[in-house]
Every structure is written in structure tokens, then in C-alpha cells.
Structure 1
Amino acid sequence: MEDPSRPDVGRRSLLWAALAAPAVAAASTTAVALDAAPASAAGASVRTGRFDEDDPRFAIGVLPDTQYLFDEDSSDPTPLRATFRYLTEQRKARNIAFMTHLGDVTEHGSEHEIELAGDTFRAIDGKVSYSVLAGNHDVRSSTDDQRGDSAYLRAFGPARFAAMPTFRGASPDGYNSYHVLRAAGREWLVLALDWRVSDKGLAWAQGVVDANPKLPIILTTHDLAWSDEAGTASLSDFGRRLWDRFIRRNDQIFLTLNGHYWPPGRTVLKNDAGHDVHVHIANYQDRYYGGAAMIRLYTFDLARKVIDVETFSPWLLDRDPEDRTPLEAENLELTGPADRFSLQIDFDERFAGFAPRVLPEPRPASAVMPRGTVAYWRFDASGLQSAGTDGGVVPAGAVARDLTGGGNDLTVELLHASAAEVLKWSAEHHEGQPAHASLRFDGGKNPDRGAVLRTGPAAPLNSMKFESGYTIEAFIKLPEPFEGDHAWMGILSWEGRSGDAGKTSGWSQDEPTCSLNLSPERFLQYVVYPTDRDADPTSWSHALPVGRWTHVAVVNDGRRTVVYVDGSKIARNPTQRSKGISTLGKPFAIGGTQFAQKYGQGYYGWIGDVRIVSRALRPREFLTPFDS
């Protein structure tokens, strides 16, 4: 469409006036007639093996108005062919799940233009699933989705999509459709609505939403919002109708995409549930070569809780840099704030109203004690004598049982003159933790305070050397805000002086022979004095996050030690040989580290399940399994 300098004048107003006619009676929601081919038959028609549907990172291609590339005898589909080639060739590398066209495929909607466009789209058929919707240049602009037959419908109606494994159905008129794609381990619904969806079309769309009540929805339509030169989007007249009558009422719709207007822009609106709905405009037909078939890639990253958006023309990027003209070089990639940006979205939180995340159930201790487990402590009722009310004090003398039955029970001791409130029971836990409970430690300095849980004087763990290897695991969480000075607080350790074990090469002979601590920068420090040499190989992690549970694993295979954080090997693991732990028959402790056989400050934060195994485990064998 031509660029409107104002939202209330010009061709857009004329098109809206042409639509102002008696409303068509709303169709019954029973009109969700699905004309898709059976999934078993469709699956063989599209090669999906290169797309990883379980990867938490995936991309959706968004293709806006291509109308100037299909303009009667001025047509040139070459740029679009390059875009389709990019999507198919990069499908594995970019994990591209889907592509959606935002309408105005052609300039006049003529038989010639539509036929050429349909033929161009064959380059992507059977390679990447996609949706297409009609823009005002593809059909008679004075009509809505009840317009009946058209060249567009014959080329881009339901029959075109029936073999795609994502296609789930179309409205009876054929102009509205929806797809369900599986990506990042869950299903997503893409709803493609005609440029002028009727009351019947809206009733059909509502039926689709009602039939898929747990799926997050990306809504695509040609005309929804316009943007000012600063890139701030506002709903158009028709967009306001669509928002009020459909989008705002359906919390599942979290992202809407449209073309039609330029410049591109975006805004965030609040729906009736009080949640964000991202409204985006993408249209580049005003730029060199009709936009040069620019594609937007929306890269969803569920691990980082972000959508990264980028806009570029594969056709122009393919050119030899030495051969690019100034206009080609200027338009090959757009990096303005409306074209390249990131959206921070906590997907679990945003979707909780209609698809709350199902967390793993607690696992019994017997299910997480593999061969070689020498100690396992958990702080639910199965393992802690004083487990109970969230926030309740765990008193001195309370016992955390070693669930292996190996005799390594822990007893709570308060440090210095600490009040009982320094140790409390908590229902908080890492979502992958077997037990749904933890201990909340409130240790600190000036004066030193805290609590520790120690093995008894005769516990077998006190003297174990682990010369064939070991794995020590713990779930920890640092408070947010992380207040006070907690530098060098201990998480767990064996008591005793390294000097008493004959070790003289370390920082001080007064430090213990094995401890896991936190530096002033919140770096994990694992220091161990091995049995076979006078050395203190030390591992250092990155800065740990606050307000979030972390799984830590220390793995030794009898030769060297590797520390893992959330299943990832950290960078600073020493290559120095390390065999066993020079234990001295003194207690093992959770919640603190001794120096010169005395405890200073105690740990500050939460500690969940702790397990020690007398062999090296692989990440997939950890208390919460990770891919190895």
C-alpha cells in the first residue's frame, strides 16, 4: 500500500469507508471445519528432519509486502527466490521452524501476477512450512473474507497448505487459516487472518482459539497498526476493531504481525488479562527494489527468555561486496530500533494463565541413588527430622538423615552466638531437584553468624579418600538482593588443616583439605588437596546468578577434577592431576568452611539436595539430568 502520512486520511480511509456495510451475521463456532490432510499423510510431504523441534532456540521467518516484485510486466521474483533459498539452506543452522507472509503478495492480484507468485513459492514447498494471507492488493480491496472466488484463493487457498504437517485448517471461505508448529518442545499456533476479516471470520477464529486453549498464538494479518517516523505503532481503524473484538479478549495472543503501512514500528498493548501483547509492523516496499524481499527472522530463545529480531535481504547479502552498488550496500541489512531489537519475555510467566508449566513431581530417594552413592541428604520429611512449615526454624540438634543408610547423618549446629532463626526450612527448590524442599541459611559477617550441618565423629564419610573418583552435587540459590559482605563463605567442606595432611604448597596450611566456597565476585571456588601429591588444584566458575537456583557438580575421575554449573563445564578447571581427597577423619559439613579449624561466617542462601557418589558421573546422571 502507498505510505499514509496521517492515519486518518488518504487511501486507508477510503478503503475503510468501502468496508462500512451491514455486518455479516456471526458464524457459529461449529464452523471450525478443518480441511487439512491427515498428519500421517502430510508428514511425508515436507522434509522436517533438519529442524530440531526440541531445541529451545528456533526462528520464524516473517515476510512482508512483496507486491512490487509481482507487478505485471515489471515483475522480478529473483530477490524472493534468494530469500526462499536462504530459508531452506539455513533451516538447520538457524533452526527455522516456519515462515509467514503478511499479505500484499502482488501489486494488482491479477491472474498473471498471482500465477507468477504461486510458481515462485514452489521453491519453498516441501522444505519449510508457511502461511500466506491476502492483502488489499491481492483481492478486491472493497471486500472482506466473504468475497468468494479469486485468483489469490485458487493459488494460496487451503489446497496449497494441505500437505504441510503444520496446517490444521481454514475458514469455510478459505481466506483465513491456522497452523500449529512444534518448536522448543511445545506447540505454537500461527493464525493468519484476511486483510478484512468478517464477523463470520472472527467467529471462526474464536472457534480456533477455543479448540486450542493451551497454545500460545502469533496472529498475522495485513492491516492492524501504523507507525510514526519514530517507530511508535498505533492501531489502525480496522486494527482497533480486531483488537477490541478479538485480540484483547484472548490472552493466548502474545504477538501480532502486520505489514501494509510503512515505516516499520512496534508497540506493546495490555489485553483484558493485563498481559503484554506485542504489536509489530514490518513493511519495506518503499525501500530499494521494492524491499528486495527482506525477511525478518524472529529468533525465540526460551533459555534466555528473549525474542531476537533481525531484518535483512538475502539477495543483497549474496552479492559480492565489490560488486554492490551504493543502494544495495545501504539496504542489505537494517539495524534501526524498529528493525533489529530484542524482546524480553518470560514465556512461562506470560503463558501461565492458559498453559501453566507442569513441574516435575518429587522423586523418591531410592530413584536417585546410583551405584557408588555414599551419602545423600535431602530436606523434605523423608530426610529432615524438623521439616515442616515454610519459614519455620530448624533448631540446633535437628538431624538430616543420610538416606543411603551409610551412617553419615548430619546434625544442625549454630555458629558462635547465632540465633535459631539463622536456619529455616523452606519449600523452595530447584525445579529439577528430587526433593521439593531446602534449607534457608542466614549466615554473615560482623559479627560472624550462621549454622552448619556436620557429620558425627564416627561417620564413614569423614575418612573416605575417593582415590578412584567422586562426584559431589548440590543445589544452591543466592538471595536477591544479595545483601551484605559474604565473601569466601563456605557451601560445603571437610574439616581439618591441610598442613596436618602434610600439604605445604597451598595458600595456607590452615585451610581445609577440601571445600566449595564463594568468592567476593560470587565465583565458585573448589579447592582440594589430593592424596597423591602436595598440591591444591583449584577450580573457578563464572559469577553465579542471584535469585535463581543453580546445580553444582564437582566430578573427579581419579586423574583430574571438573566442575559443572547447570550441566555446563566451567572454563577454569585445572589440568593439574588430582587423585582423591586428603581427608583427616574429621566431619564433613554443609553451610560453612573452617579456617584454622574454626568456622567464621556461615552460608547465606538456600541449599537443597546434596549427594556424594564414589565415582565420576556424567551430566546425564546428575541429580537433575543434563545432556552430555
Structure 2
Amino acid sequence: MRENQVGPNRRSFLRNAGLAGVGATALGALGVAPAQADTADTAGKSSGRWNPDGDSLQFTVAIMPDTQYLYWGSQNSINPEPQEASFRYVIENSGTPNNNIVFMAHLGDVTQDADVTSFQAVDKTFKILDKANVAYSVLAGNHDVSGDDTRGDTPYLDAMGPQRFKGQKSFVGSDASGYNTAHTFHAAGRDWLLLAMDWRTSAAGFAWANQVIKAHPKLPVILTCHEIVAPTYGDEVYPYESGDPENNAAITSYGQTVWDQLIKNNDQIFLTLNGHYWPSGRVTKKNTAGNDVHLHITNYQNRYMSGGGMLRLYHFDLERNTIDVETISPWILEKDPAKRNRLEVMESRLTTAVDRFSMPFDFEQRFSGFIPVKTRAARGANKVLLPGTLAYWRFDGNHAAPNSPVTTTQKVKDLSGNGNDLTLASVPGTIPGALTWSDDHHPDQPGHASLRFVGGKNPLHGAYLTTAAKAALNTEQFKKGYTIETFVKIPRDWDGGNNGNMPVLVRRGAAGDAGKHGKNTDPKEPVAQLMTTNNGRELQFNCYPLSQTYPTTNWSHGMPEDQWWHLAVVNDGHHTTAYIESAPVADNPSTDSVGIASLGLTWLLGGHEYGGAIDNVFHGWIGDVRIVNRALRPNEFMTQ
């Protein structure tokens, strides 16, 4: 009895939830939720308790599709053990760092025959969840009921109807029929809504569901239903593979009804999950608002032991803007690996492209239509001028309109009050517009503006800014430490050959003229330079300190283009640490480094000097810049 197959701006969102700055869980080099070791669980029945972390930015929704062959009471075939194992897994993995299961949804076909004896066994098994106060939902499939939700009383409704959920805090309510239910769960500091819809929903059922969504206008919605999409590939042999794992399903005739009546005009619905058909697959459709809706089918009833109570785990990560998906059989994973049979070895984890994958998902952008993004307000200079600030430059205020050129008559004032103002300088022959004012900025930047540099070295062109010849900053030696901070964005047209080793902030003066020599010394390079290096777009801070004749250099990982980054270099009087987005980079030398050598020459913002002559100009955006004469802690950075 098989089903018919068918033929061929993030951080402000987190801040609004009160969670900015919470640490992310490492999920592996490939960005997919890491597999746990296949070791036996000798604890037997769960003694754990349901205790998910509702504030963590990483959480999991567990999905259980068609378990029908485990409950075939009319054939005297009842085998609850696989489902019991999955329920234990759900309970024991609530609140754990790698899973944090906050909700479980069953996709229907709970039984094979809709027999009273089948549902008596189902009722007993689901009491495992009830006793642990697990938040979960169940819906009816075509093997549980017939007709639409106006069918009246059934063994399914008697066992799994809304009365079962009335003690749950997550239960919102049901429609008049009792076959359509609504649930909420708390995750990532906010509530989410899940609808569990009947096998065939009537007009009244759809009207109820639309009203539930309307009554919760700011909640993201997951829609579960037994049938919406079906696979467009596959045969009777597994494992299944697809040429296009991201587009291998199609909406069915009834699924089109669900789309038209419920999904397309409700922008809050971002993910739908259904069983019924196999093999698993997915497709993405645009709703009326022009946003993606991800429609997934997951079903393993045709696999070993009717799927063995398999779980599809949707790992939401709001810091990484990713949903990682994996498929496991807790029933098999509980067993001693040495005692598993051949099929159990094969079926413990499903790892084909349709069963284990990652979905990039910009939560802030996708939900912005019903959860408006509250951008962080600009902060005045007085909020940023910490004790010891020697220079602070920002590019908002009364300069000029965005996209207009920076001119020689305009000054960028040093808001620290120390007189280190910046003025325009250009490579000969550079056309106007090579340096412009911009309103683009890092979301956590105090000033909501930046400078857009269009520079390069092959051929040399561009404009930059410089301190005056007698600026106090020129002679500062930073003997007790320093912190240099700024914000940068590298454009998509950045080219390693033309823009590599481009300067962010440079202290003029050749190292050789400052008496520097020894290992890694280039006598023509400047005494201090903060820049992005060749093809990898890494942060590099190369500095000739007062304490020795050779430089110390901090190197970072690569910084992707078209994204704002906060950069910081902190010296505590002896050692220098570089940070990107308040995270220390890998290559921070332990070499003693006291102060910064000075020849009393100017500082350049966006310009680089070699052998006394300009040889490169920055290409991209530079935001606020602050220089402090002491080491700051990350919680004192301009992003805080």
C-alpha cells in the first residue's frame, strides 16, 4: 500500500529579539549540522526532561513523517519501539547545544489502517511526550481518516484530537472540527507559529487558519500538512539521488489548493512540510509578496522498518543565517554499533543531498515584511569619545549629500578635539568622484555614513585623506598601548592585481629612515600600516615598534566582499591583537611590541606610501575611525 508518486542588514533582527552577541555553536566546516557519534544509548527509557533553551540563537524543530506501518492493528502488527526511541531522543536533546529541540511535528499517517486498536497503541506511545511536557503537533493523513475535515468523529480524533494538547503551553487552539490545530513555540527569543492542517481541509478550515495567522501578525509560520508537494524523480530503489536536489518536487493538485487558499497571500509562511509521497525532495516558490516559500517533502515509510521512526531535524541558526537539515534514526543510533545488522548500518543516518543539506536563510530580510527591521540609531560623538581618544573621524554631519565628491575645501573634523583633521589629497590626474560621501555603513557603526574610495595601483589612481603636517597625532608614539578601530567594506569589483595590499590607515615614514632593519624588514615600507592584503582579502597590521628594529605583523582570515566588517588592532603595551567583528584573528604574534615608531610625518586614510611616494589607494568603503592611546576591551569597541 504505497502512495502514488507523480511524474516529471541580521544583527538588528537579533537585537530586536534581545539576543545580539550570543555565541554561535560551531556546526562543522561544511556548514551542516554535525553528526553525532554512532554510539549505543544504554540508558534505556528516557529519564530526561523537556527543557529547551528558548533564548539560544540555535534551535531545532524535529519532524516525524509517516509512521503508519508501525501501527497496523487490524493485522495484529504493532511495533512502537522505533517511535519510542525517537521520542526519547527529542526529550533528551532539548536544551542541548548541538540540537536544542524546541518542537516536534508529526506529518500524518500515524497509522496504516485507522483502526481503533492502532490508535490505542499510538495513544500509549505519545504519552511519552505528554509526560515530559514536550511541545508537539500531530495531523491526520489519508491512512488515518477519509474525506475532509467535516467528517465528524473518528478514532484519530478520539486519540489525537485537540483535547490531547489542552495542557500544553504551546497549544493555541483548533478549528471547530478539531482536525486543524495551531501551536506556538519559543525560540531565539521570540515566538513562532506552527499550523498542523488536516489531510483535506474544508473552506471553513482554511478560513480558520487564515484567521489564526491574522491574529498573530508578527510570528513566522511553519505550515505542516500531509500533502502539498510530491517528488519529480526517483524509483523504488534507494538511496535516492536527484540531479537538482534543490528543485526536485512539484506542487500537487491538492497542494495547489493549499497554496491558493492559505500560503501565497500569507507572507508569514516561510516553510511547509509534508509527507505522503516519497522520496524526499524540495522546491521553492515565490509568494504574492515576492518572497521565497520553501516547500519540503520528507517521508521514509518505504525504507527499512517503515523508516524506523526517523526524524528530520531542522537546525535553525540565526547567527549564521542558515537552516541545516539532517535525517537520523534514533532507534538505530541507540543500538550498539557492533550489533547492528547490515540495514541498520545503512539507515542510521541518511546523507544523500535530499536528506542532509543546508539552506542559506536571511531571517531578517525574509521576515522584514511582518517584523519591521529596527535599525540601530546613530550615536553622537560624545558616546564614542572614551578617555584616551586621540582621534575620531566620522563622515556624517554637514559634509555634503551622499554620492557627491569630497572636495579640497572640505575637512573631516577630528571630533576628539585634538585637531587631527583630515583633508583631501589625490593622485595626479585623478578625476573628481574618486572619493565620495556615502550613507552606507556598518549596522553597529556610531556614525551612519562612510567614504567611498575608487582607487587602485595598476594604474595608480584615486583620492585619499591626510592629517596636517603639524597634527598632534603625527608624533604620538603610543608607549603605553593603543587601539585602532575602523569599519570597511570591500566591493564586488575588487581585484587582487589592482587592489591587493590596499591601505586602510597608514603612518607615513619609511622603516629604513626610522633605523629599522633585521628579519622581515622592508626599509621602504611605512612604519605602520593597516591594510587588506592580496587575493585573500585578509586584514594585515604591520608595525615597527619602539622595542625592536624589525616589524610585528598580525594577519587575519579572508573577509568576503560586499559586507561591512569592524576591524580593531589592540596593543596592551607589549603585545598586539587584531580583531574582526570583535573576534581575535588566528595570527596574533607573541613578539614583544611596545609603541609605534614615528618620524613625525602624517597619517593617511585610504592612501599608501612606499619609498616616500604614494603607490596604492584604497578601493571600497571606510566608516568611522577611532584611535585611542590605550588598550580597549572588546566590550568597549565602537560596535557596542
Q: TM-score range by the shorter chain?
A: 0.7 to 0.9
Corresponding residue of 1:14: none
In 2, the alpha carbon distance for the partners of 1:553 and 1:149 equals 66
Q: Which moved more, 1:497-506 or 1:76-85?
A: 497-506
Cα distance, 1:52 vs. partner? 4.8
Q: Which residue of structure 2 lines up, in the alignment, with residue 432 of structure 1? A: 444
Aligned twin of 1:132: 138
- Say yes or no: does 1:157 pair with 2:170: no
Structure 1, 521-530 or 601-610: larger mean CA deviation: 521-530
Structure 1 spans left out of the alignment, 5+ residues: 9-45
Distance across 1 between alignment mates of 2:320 and 2:292: 18
- Which of 99, 118, 125 is matched with 2:123 structurally? 118
Q: Secondary structure at the match of 1:200?
A: helix
The answer to whether the Cα contact below 8 Å between 1:88 and 1:127 also exists between their aligned partners in 2 is no
Aligned twin of 1:83: 86
1:271-310 aligned at under 5 Å gives the runs: 271-310=287-326
Question: How far off its partner does 1:47 sit?
Answer: 6.7
Q: Is contact 1:294–1:312 with CA below 8 Å preserved after alignment?
A: yes
Alpha-carbon offset, residue 5 of structure 1: 4.6
| Aligned with 1:481 (options 483, 486, 493) | 493
Match of 2:262 in 1: 246
Once the two structures are overlaid, the 10-residue window that deviates more, 200-209 or 150-159, is: 150-159
Partner of 1:462: 474
Matched, 1:316 2:332: yes
Matched, 1:70 2:78: no
Q: Does 1:388 align with 2:400?
A: yes
Cα separation, 2, equivalents of 1:84 and 1:206? 31
CA contact (8 A) 1:228 1:263 kept: no
User: Structure 1: which amino acid aligns with 2:100?
Assistant: N
Of 513-522 and 460-469, deviating more is: 460-469
Deviation at 1:391, TM superposition (A): 0.8
- 2:364 partner SS: helix
1:409 matches 2:421: yes
Alpha-carbon shift at residue 50 of structure 1 (Å): 4.5
Paired residue for 1:508?
522
Equivalent position amino acid for 2:111 in 1: T
Deviations 1:463-514 (A, max 9, x none): 2222222211110001112246112211101111223333212421222221
C-alpha distance in 1 between matches for 2:425 and 2:49: 62
CA 1:376–1:186 in 2, change beyond 3 Å: closer, same or farther? farther
The residue type paired with residue 511 of structure 1 is E
In 2, are the aligned partners of 1:416 and 1:448 still within 8 Å (CA)?
Answer: no
Question: Residue 242 of structure 1 aligns to which amino acid in structure 2?
Answer: V
The answer as to 2:618 corresponding to 1:617 is no
- Matched with 2:15 is none
1:197 to 201, 205, 209: 201
Deviation at 1:549, TM superposition (A): 0.8
Aligned to 1:178: 182
- Residue 150 of structure 1 and its aligned partner are, at CA, apart by 3.4
- TM-score, structure 1 as length reference: 0.88
Are the counterparts in 2 of residues 396 and 414 from structure 1 also a CA contact under 8 Å?
Answer: no
Per the alignment, in what secondary structure is the counterpart of residue 406 of structure 2? coil
Cross-structure match for 2:237: none
Aligned-pair CA distance for 1:556: 1.4
Cα distance 1:83–1:450, how it changes in 2: closer, same or farther (>3 A)? same
Contact 1:499 1:509 in 2 (8 A): yes
Q: Evaluate the alpha carbon distance shift between residue 363 and residue 310 of structure 1 in structure 2; reply closer, same or farther with a 3 A threshold.
A: same
AA at the equivalent of 2:477:
K
Question: Alpha-carbon deviation of 1:49?
Answer: 5.1
Letter in 2 for 1:153: L
Aligned 8 A contact 2:62 2:313 in 1: yes
Q: For 1:219-272, what per-residue CA distance to the aligned partner results, in whole angstroms no more than 9, with x for missing partners?
A: 101122222434632223322211122212222222111111222222222322
8 Å Cα contact 1:517-1:593 kept in structure 2: no
Counterpart contact for 2:54–2:186, Cα < 8 Å: no
- Aligned partner of 2:114 in structure 1 is 109
The alpha carbon displacement at 1:67 in A equals: 1.6
The verdict on how the C-alpha distance between 1:165 and 1:48 changes in structure 2, with shifts beyond 3 A counting, is farther
The percent of aligned pairs where both chains have the same amino acid is: 46
Asked whether the equivalents of residues 396 and 420 of structure 1 are also in contact (C-alpha less than 8 Å), the reply is no
Give me the whole-angstrom Cα distance separating, in 1, the residues matched to 2:159 and 2:106: 14
Find the counterpart in structure 2 of residue 22 from structure 1: none
Aligned to 1:12: none
Compute the displacement of 1:185 (Å).
4.1
Aligned to 1:450: 462
How far apart are 1:318 and its partner, in Å? 2.5
Q: Is the 8 A contact 2:393 2:626 kept in 1?
A: yes
Contact 1:7 1:226 in 2 (8 A): no
| Deviation by residue 1:394-450 (Cα, 9 ceiling, x = unmatched) | 112421111121222212222333222111001111111111110001111233122
Aligned to 1:421: 433
Are the counterparts in 1 of residues 52 and 101 from structure 2 also a CA contact under 8 Å?
no
Q: Tell me which residue corresponds to 1:31.
A: none
Q: Deviations over 1:249-304 (max 9, x none)?
A: 22222211111122222222232233322211111111111110110011223333
Counterpart residue type for residue 549 of structure 2: D
Alignment partner of 1:597 out of 612, 617, 626: 612
Amino acid at match of 2:527: T
AA partner of residue 516 (structure 1): L
Q: Aligned AA for 1:271?
A: N
Amino acid of the structure 2 residue aligned with 1:76: N
Aligned to 2:36: none
Q: Is 1:494 matched up with 2:507?
A: yes
Q: Once structures 1 and 2 are overlaid, which stretch shifts more, 557-566 or 581-590?
A: 581-590
Contact 1:491/1:516, CA 8 A, preserved across alignment: yes
Say yes or no: does 1:546 pair with 2:561.
yes
Alpha-carbon distance in structure 2 between the residues aligned to 1:52 and 1:252? 20
TM-score when normalising by structure 2: 0.86
Please tell me the residue identity of whatever aligns with 1:77.
P
Which sections of structure 2, spanning at least 5 residues, go unmatched? 9-47, 235-241, 243-247
State which drifts further: 211-220 or 437-446: 211-220
- The answer as to whether partners of 1:481 and 1:547 remain within 8 angstroms in 2 is no
The separation in 1 between residues aligned to 2:410 and 2:377, in whole angstroms, is 26
User: Relative to 1, partners in 2 of residues 1:615 and 1:103: Cα closer, same or farther, differing over 3 Å?
Assistant: same
Paired residue type of 1:596: G
| CA–CA distance in structure 2, aligned partners of residues 463 and 342 of structure 1 | 52
Change (3 A) 1:86 1:596: same
| Residues in 2 aligned to 1:373 and 1:118: alpha-carbon distance in whole angstroms | 67
CA change 1:239–1:393 in 2 (3 A) is same
Q: Is the 8 A contact 1:266 1:280 kept in 2?
A: yes
Q: Which 10-residue stretch deviates more, 114-123 or 279-288?
A: 114-123
